[in-house]
Amino acid sequence: MGTYLQGKPEYDKKRKALLAEYKVPELQADWERKTLAAAANPGTDVPYDVAWDTVVKMVDGGKEILRLDPSQRTQKQQEKLTDHFVGFYMIPVGKERYEELKFPELKEKLEKLEAEYPGLSEAQTIAENPGSPKTHILIRGDYKQPGIEVQPGPLAVLNPLPQDARPTRLTLARWLVSKDNPLTPRVTVNRMWQEFFGRGLVETSEDFGTRGEPPTHAKLLDWLAMEFMANDWNVKKVHKLIVTSATYRQSSQTRKVLESRDPYNKLLARQSRLRLPAELVRDAALATSGLLNPEIGGKSVRPPLPAGVAELGYAGSVKWKASVGPDRYRRGLYIFFQRTTPYPELMTFDAPNSLLSCSRRERSTTPLQALNLMNDPVFFEAAQVLAARIMRETPGSVSDRIDYAFKLCLARAPRPQEKDRLLNYYRQQKEILGQEPESIDTLFPANNLEGVNAAEAAAWVGITRVLLNLDEFITRG
């Protein structure tokens, strides 16, 4: 027996006791009677008209459940209806009565009780609908204007379904990956190529149709598609094939002659420099400083938001309870996506708004990105922690430390000019901090590093902040 079933009898008992304590069975029976009466005679009891409307709109299968005799309902149906009743009894009886009955308190207790017991884990599954609904062409896309009835089938220009096959989802799945259908592997390898080169062999990775761009290297695309299928659709093998290729391993430096002949680098005579995607910009800063929590999977996290961001959601409905501890430093892809008020850094660096499907992202360069990298507490904290890391891990001279910082941030040694410029900046920072000694503690608040001079550490925060803001830091070279 699983944990859910083990805990269930006790949970049921406690829930029943709670509901009885707040007189839910009597009140709910009365509410059901009145709601059903309102449904039968609309317009006679307006508050219960609204109650009926809410059940219909908010409870999955609510209309049917409410019409069933309580003895005929499954336990799950009954619980669903009771939860709705407890949550929305205010609608017909008003706030005052709802509070007098202490329903807000009951609601809280029920939620707490539920959280105390292990939940039922549900697995989604698909079953074929025996009575498939009829499908019509919708005139101008309007669901209220159905045109002629249509049957399922692939586009005429593509390979047909096998003869005598019933047009089910399983048939579609088999058709998609059939050896006779080159489109699926082409589209798939093209999207992989796009991630490695910034542009697919077919640039319009979302559209291989007549309105899309023709491929720049049609034979290569075909060959990769065939390799993908021949290797049993193994994604990693294609990745390996691409990253070990001579094309991928080229330098991204441009040459004058290429600029005029192939300004957009479609022919791939060099690699492309690509700004990192939004999530990775944040990950890179956290990883370099050592703050990143690399944990895989689990629930989404909510890193702290600046005040006033969540408030732009509807009528204060967005509750952004900031994650604490290591969850604050999870990878960007785990950040909870609040549709009406998305995490600002994601939007600023061109993450899609998660409302439409998106096969390729824009890469824009805006002043808001600069402000974000310079001043967002996430990035500033990364600069502070990175400075501490460098001080701790390299006891040597400023010059040695610059070498190490460059290696951590850009995976290479600084060129002499770059080093000179940073040394120059370091001296300048020290001078400024000499004039503004009050800034030292704010820049480097947790100075518990042995033998480290606070002013020096604070100057280093300046250097790491510069490094984390370099174009090269947020660019794949």
Q: How far is the CB of 32 from other proteins (least distance, A)?
A: 20
Residues 62-101: x/- map of binding to other proteins (CB under 8 A)? -----------------------------x--x-------
Residue among 85 and 228 whose Cβ is closer to other proteins: 85
Residue found by looking up tokens 């998305």 in the block: 342
Is there binding between residue 413 and other proteins (CB under 8 A)?
Answer: no
- Residue from 312, 319, 396, 451 touching other proteins (CB under 8 A): that is 312
Q: How far is the CB of 372 from other proteins (least distance, A)?
A: 5
Q: Rank residues 174 and 361 by Cβ distance to other proteins and give the closer one.
A: 361
Distance CA 196, CA 224 (A): 14
Considering only residues 60, 362, 396, 397, which one is a binding residue for other proteins as defined by CB under 8 A? 362
Residues 136-175 that bind other proteins (CB under 8 A): none
CB contact set of 342 (below 8 Å; sequence gap of 6+): 351, 353, 354
Interacting residues of 283 by C-beta distance below 8 A, sequence separation 6+: 292, 331, 332
Of the listed pieces 72-80, 178-186, 322-330, 366-374, which binds other proteins according to CB under 8 A? 366-374
Q: Would you count residue 477 as binding other proteins (CB under 8 A)?
A: yes
- Kindly tell me which residue out of 27, 50, 172, 449 binds other proteins, with binding defined by CB under 8 A: 50
Binders in 6-45 for other proteins, by CB under 8 A:
42-43
The reply to whether 376 sits near other proteins by the rule CB under 8 A is yes
Among 460, 355, 363, 336, residue whose Cα is nearest residue 409: 460
- For the purposes of burial, counting CB atoms within 10 Å of the CB of 193, is it exposed (0-12), middle (13-18) or buried (19 or more)? buried
Contacts of 15 (CB under 8 A, 6+ apart): 110, 113
Q: Which of residues 435-464 bind other proteins (CB under 8 A)?
A: 436, 439-443, 458, 461-462
Using DSSP, state whether 137 is helix, strand or coil. Answer: strand
| Nearest one of 430, 428, 427, 423 to 406, comparing CA atoms | 423
Q: Is residue 115 near other proteins by the rule CB under 8 A? A: no
- The answer to whether residue 353 forms part of the interface with other proteins (CB under 8 A) is yes
Comparing CB distances to other proteins, the nearer of 182 and 313 is 313
The least CB distance from residue 443 to other proteins, in Å, is 4
* SS3 label, residue 346: helix
Residue 294: half-sphere exposure toward Cβ, Cα within 13 Å: 4
Beta-bridge mates of residue 150: 135
By the 10 Å C-beta count (0-12 exposed, 13-18 middle, 19+ buried), 164 is classed as exposed
| Contact set for other proteins, span 418-437 (CB under 8 A) | 418, 421-422, 425, 428-429, 432, 436
Per-residue CA distances from 140 to 143, 151, 152, 154, 215 (Å): 9, 19, 20, 21, 31
Indicate the DSSP class of residue 328. G
- Type of residue at 49: D
What residues numbered 182-221 form the site for other proteins, per CB under 8 A?
204, 206-207, 209, 211-212
Stretch that binds other proteins, among 20-28, 183-191, 218-226, 466-474 (CB under 8 A): 466-474
